[in-house]
Amino acid sequence: MFRWEKIRKPVFCLAPMAEITTLPFRSICKSMGADIVFTPMISSDAVVFNPEKTLKIAEFLTKEQPVIVQIFGYDGEKIAQAANIVDKKLKPAGIDINMGCPAPNITGNECGSGLLRDLDKALDLVKIVRKMYKGQLSVKLRLGWREYNIKEFCQQLEKIGVDALIIHGRTAKQKYTGHANWQPIYDVAQSIQIPVIGNGDIMDWRMAYRLLAPSIFEGLHIVYRQNDKPLAIGDKQLAGVMIGRGALGNPFIFKEIKGKRTYTNKFKELPKIIHEQTLKYIEYTGNEKRAILEMRKHLGWYIKGFAGAQEIRKKAMLVNNYQDVKMILKELENNGKS
């Protein structure tokens, strides 16, 4: 049985990303070495009122475990209800409460990182969920609404029984602008005992280790800088890191992290990966046209770095069926790395 306190550290997680980390892409990342994978966020209200349709988003294969299902909402009882429905029907390794999404349509409804506007209210919400849901419970959050002010809040989350925290190094108002600030993540990690996973701007395997802990990074002779200043990193190693945008078009990042080296065959293998993911989408959706429309954005990310990428990407954004994708793959195989 999965327990956050028993995870083998360091752990490397795939972040929850709306309309991206559904089963087809998630299973690819799992095969590449992701230790824990998160589903896209699902609405607590939608789970409670229309579970059959909503749970399709969080559907996973047993071999993907441990899988964490992320839920967003504004009402603690509804989130707890949804968590128990998910637990009964899907049996994931755990539930994650979304306090990190900065999208205006989410924060405007007092969900996601919008909950960080009022930390007392947010704490009460989590207390209700913790009381009603007995499984493994994590919270993914940001540094605060406008500024870093979550340290005491995180300490309170630990006291009420939250099992792990995933912290993105930006405030809600920053969205994805500027650079992620990891110093506050270390600040929180040093003040509590439950696992803390860091998230934000991990685009390659070296950065993953550099931000995980400087001691692990010794001997690799690379210093990452922000605004021409070395990153200030605390002394405590995090329990792990979470990769989001760094995996888009490059699920090999997990293989590179595990091997501590750049994977040189990725461009040779990418057409095979794209083909596999396309077939997974067709099976997952049960509708070829819908599957191909889902694959368009992934094709755009995968094609980066190939010779003639700009022209191939234009064609990729117009694919309508499986045969169209096969034609794109043929071009990629012929062109190779730029």
| Span 269-291, pLDDT tens digits | 999 999 999 999 999 999 999 99
- Per-residue pLDDT at 217 exceeds 80: no
244 and 17 Cβ atoms separated by less than 8 Å: yes
29 a catalytic residue = no
Res 195: pLDDT: 97
Give the CA count within 13 Å in the CB-facing half-sphere of 79.
29
Q: Is the pLDDT of residue 119 over 50?
A: yes
Q: How confident is the model at residue 334 (pLDDT cuts 50, 70, 90)?
A: confident
pLDDT of residue 337: 61
The whole-number average pLDDT for the span 242-266 is 94
Q: How far apart are CA 235 and CA 248, in angstroms?
A: 30
Question: Under 8 Å CB-to-CB from 271, ≥6 apart: which residues?
Answer: 329, 332, 333
Q: What percent of the chain is predicted at pLDDT more than 90?
A: 86
pLDDT for the residue numbered 336: 67
- Cα–Cα distance, 33 to 75 (Å, whole number): 35
Q: Mean of the pLDDT values across residues 54-83? A: 97
Report phi then psi at 309, rounded to 5: -55, -40
User: CA 124, CA 267: separation in Å to the nearest integer?
Assistant: 49
Whole-number pLDDT of residue 233? 42
Spatial contact of 102 and 73, defined as CB atoms under 8 Å apart: no
Q: Is residue 182 within 8 Å of residue 211, measured between CB atoms? A: yes
Which residues are paired to 68 by β-bridges? 38, 94
Percent of the chain with pLDDT over 70: 92
Mean pLDDT of the chain: 92
Instruction: Using the predicted structure, report yes or no on whether residue 114 has a pLDDT greater than 90.
Output: yes
| Residues tagged in the binding site annotation | 16-18, 70, 140, 168, 244-245
Which residues are registered as beta bridge partners of 193? Answer: none
Residue 226 β-bridge partners:
229
Q: Which amino acid is at 326?
A: K
Per-residue pLDDT of 124-181, as tens digits, reads: 999 999 999 999 999 999 999 999 999 999 999 999 999 999 999 999 999 999 999 9
Identify the pLDDT of residue 229. 40
Confidence of residue 105 (pLDDT cuts 50, 70, 90): very high
Q: Which CATH architecture has domain 4-259?
A: Alpha-Beta Barrel (3.20)
Reported in sequence order, the residue ranges of the chain that DSSP labels E, i.e. its strands, are 11-14, 36-38, 42-43, 67-72, 94-99, 137-142, 164-168, 196-199, 225-226, 229-230, 240-243
CB 318 within 8 A of CB 325: no
pLDDT at 210: 87
3-state secondary structure of 181: coil
Question: Confidence band (pLDDT; 50, 70, 90) for 335?
Answer: confident
Cα–Cα nearest to 41, from 131, 128, 141: 141
Sign of CA pseudo-dihedral 197, 200, 204, 210: negative
Alpha carbon distance 281, 19 (integer Å): 12
The pair of three-digit structure tokens given for residue 98, joined into one six-digit string: 């979304």
CA distance linking residue 231 with residue 269, whole number of Å: 34
Question: pLDDT for 172-213, tens place per residue?
Answer: 999 999 999 999 999 999 999 999 999 999 999 999 988 987
Q: Which of 29, 101, 111, 154 is catalytic?
A: 101
Q: Are strands 196-199 and 240-243 parallel, antiparallel or unpaired?
A: parallel
Q: What is the pLDDT of residue 224?
A: 38
CA distance 241 to 196: 9
In this predicted structure, the answer to whether residue 108 has a pLDDT above a threshold of 90 is yes
The whole-number average pLDDT for the span 23-42 is 98
Residue 189, both tokens: 């990690």
pLDDT by residue (tens digit) across 226-242?
443 433 444 457 999 99
**Which residues belong to the annotated binding site for FMN?**
16-18, 70, 140, 168, 244-245
C-beta neighbour count of 89 within 10 angstroms: 14
Q: What are phi and psi of 166, to 5 degrees?
A: -120, 120
| Mean pLDDT on 216-225 | 41
Average pLDDT (6-19) is 96
Does the pLDDT value for residue 215 go beyond 90? no
pLDDT of 223 reads: 39
Can you give the residue ranges of every domain in the chain?
4-259, 266-335
